[in-house]
Amino acid sequence: MVAKKIQQIFAKVPEVKYGYTDISYSSFSEEYRFALVFAVPYEEQLNLDSYTEERFENSILNARNKLEIILKDIEIVLKEECIKYYIPPVAQQNEEDLLAVFSFKYAAVNAGLGWIGKNDVLITEKYGPRVRLSAVLVDYPFETGRKITESRCGSCNRCVDICPHKALKGLNWDINALRNNLIDYHLCNQKRSAYIEKHGRKNACGLCMVVCPFGMGETI
């Protein structure tokens, strides 16, 4: 019944990809055994020719608004069904380890939505990395998706080559890879943070995303 109601929410936004995963790997697992995770595609699917930092930032903001509306609908259903849930914050806890309390990306991989690219973000077959992720932790046994355990980036290296700061290491991800194997996260964050004074926010650098052939009808 609840799965059906959630299906109806996503039927209204068929472009949004979603799935469920067991989160027994997570520190939240004692309270919430499963997560619903979904990926909202950016309205503007930018490539390198159409990319500007402002357009990329706007895409993120628009997707975030859409995501909030979907989250509200999901909350209504979970409340109606008296299912305990928690929406983890997207923000990183601090500027040192730069980790969120719950990784949407790892949940998405486990739910079968995509893999982690050489750019350290979720890559979906349909949109590449041009999606915004969210997750809801639930105390309810939903039918889970099939976990993706290996990268499909192959020999593509476009994101690695385009990073102006050489923050990406060029390794193909697998399910056991650590973030540090793929990216110098501090370097990327430091370079993007250099814009805070000028723009009032970190630079939304999307170069390593807009260059990705996945989602652009290209083959690698």
Tell me the HSE value of 59 on the side-chain side, using a 13 A CA sphere. Answer: 25
Task: Estimate to the nearest angstrom the gap between the alpha carbon of 149 and the chain centroid.
Answer: 16
Q: What angle do CA 134, 85, 148 make, to 5 degrees?
A: 45
The Cα–Cα gap between 6 and 116 comes to 26
Closest approach, Cβ 208 to ligand SF4, in A, equals 3
Closest approach, Cβ 139 to ligand SF4, in A, equals 34
Contact stretch for ligand SF4 (CB under 6 A) within 7-15, 22-30, 77-85, 209-217: 209-217
At residue 187, the 3 state secondary structure works out as helix
Give me the amino acid identity at 2: V
186 forms part of the interface with ligand SF4 (CB under 6 A): no
Structure tokens at 1: 């019944």
Closest approach, Cβ 161 to ligand SF4, in A, equals 9
- Contacts (CB under 6 A) with ligand SF4, residues 126-165: 153, 156-159, 163, 165
Given the complex with ligand SF4, which of 135 and 153 has the nearer CB atom?
Answer: 153
Contacting residue, 191, 195, 202, 216, with ligand SF4 by CB under 6 A? 191
The Cα–Cα gap between 13 and 55 comes to 22
Contact (CB, 8 A) for 4 and 80: no
| Number of residues near ligand SF4 (by CB under 6 A) | 23
Given the complex with ligand SF4, which of 12 and 165 has the nearer CB atom?
Answer: 165
Given the complex with ligand SF4, which of 107 and 167 has the nearer CB atom?
Answer: 167
- Contacts (CB under 6 A) with ligand SF4, residues 100-129: 117-119, 123
Q: Which residues neighbour 153 within 8 Å (Cβ) at sequence distance 6 or greater?
A: 115, 117, 118, 123, 172, 173, 220
201 forms part of the interface with ligand SF4 (CB under 6 A): no
The Cα–Cα gap between 12 and 39 comes to 14
Given the complex with ligand SF4, which of 83 and 187 has the nearer CB atom?
Answer: 187
Residue with tokens 């929410």: 9
Q: Catalog residues that contact ligand SF4 under the rule CB under 6 A.
A: 117-119, 123, 153, 156-159, 163, 165, 167-168, 188, 191, 205, 207-208, 211-214, 220
